[in-house]
Chain A
Amino acid sequence: DTAVSQTPKYLVTQMGNDKSIKCEQNLGHDTMYWYKQDSKKFLKIMFSYNNKELIINETVPNRFSPKSPDKAHLNLHINSLELGDSAVYFCASGTGVGNTIYFGEGSWLTVV
């Protein structure tokens, strides 16, 4: 069974569209994350949720809205997509404090 799964794996969409990426973890972890990997492979934290509560919100445009319906799910909704949003988005989960963090396989978003 995949520990952290995210869908879709690949997404190509036009500028201005709204899209969502879903993430689920079956590890029983309390904390989930979204990371963004840019074209230069640089990874940066976007959001962190603990037990459905937003803990960390880095300087991400408010077009990005995470939603956590329960602690096993953290979805990412992106409004009015821009070319610069093209990246790989990784969902991750962990136990919270001083822990190992496990990543999903990534969602490759291309905005054209």
Chain B
Amino acid sequence: GEDVEQSLFLSVREGDSSVINCTYTDSSSTYLYWYKQEPGAGLQLLTYIFSNMDMKQDQRLTVLLNKKDKHLSLRIADTQTGDSAIYFCAESKNSGYSTLTFGKGTMLLVSP
């Protein structure tokens, strides 16, 4: 299977919470990231979490990491239409010169 897997699509209503899930296979992953890509735009680093943490909160964003199950989630509180984008989960390892392995992205559609 793929190294990093995500569901492909999520639709929510404005004001609701969104939860985007990701699973990864490599237990040596050290950092896990969430990137956002708006249509026709580049990749914006939203947040990241080190593998010895289980939660990180940054304003409307909450990242939860279950290292035992190799499961990462991104919760967006009070989702806005401007949050509509593709969200990529990625992992890297703390060995050598780390590169990112990406999931295929989750398209989040927020309706008014």
* Stretch of B10-18, B71-79, B96-104 with 4 or more beta carbons under 8 angstroms from chain A: B96-104
* A98-B51 Cα distance, complex, nearest whole Å: 11
CB distance from B111 to the nearest CB of A (A): 21
Q: How many residues on the B side are at the interface (Cβ–Cβ under 8 A)? A: 26
Q: A42-B104, A43-B102 are in contact. Are A100 and B45 (CB under 8 A)?
A: yes
> B82-96: contact bitstring with A at CB < 8 Å (1 yes, 0 no)?
000010100011111
B97 near A45 with CB under 8 A, answer no
Pick the contact of B43 from A44, A48, A90, A94 — CB < 8 Å?
A: A90
- For the residues of A in contact with B, the DSSP-based class is strand
Interface hits, A7-47 → B, CB 8 Å = 31, 33, 35, 40-45
CB distance from A99 to the nearest CB of B (A): 7
Measuring CB to CB, which residues of chain B are less than 8 angstroms from any residue of chain A? 30-31, 33, 35, 37, 41-45, 48, 86, 88, 92-102, 104-105
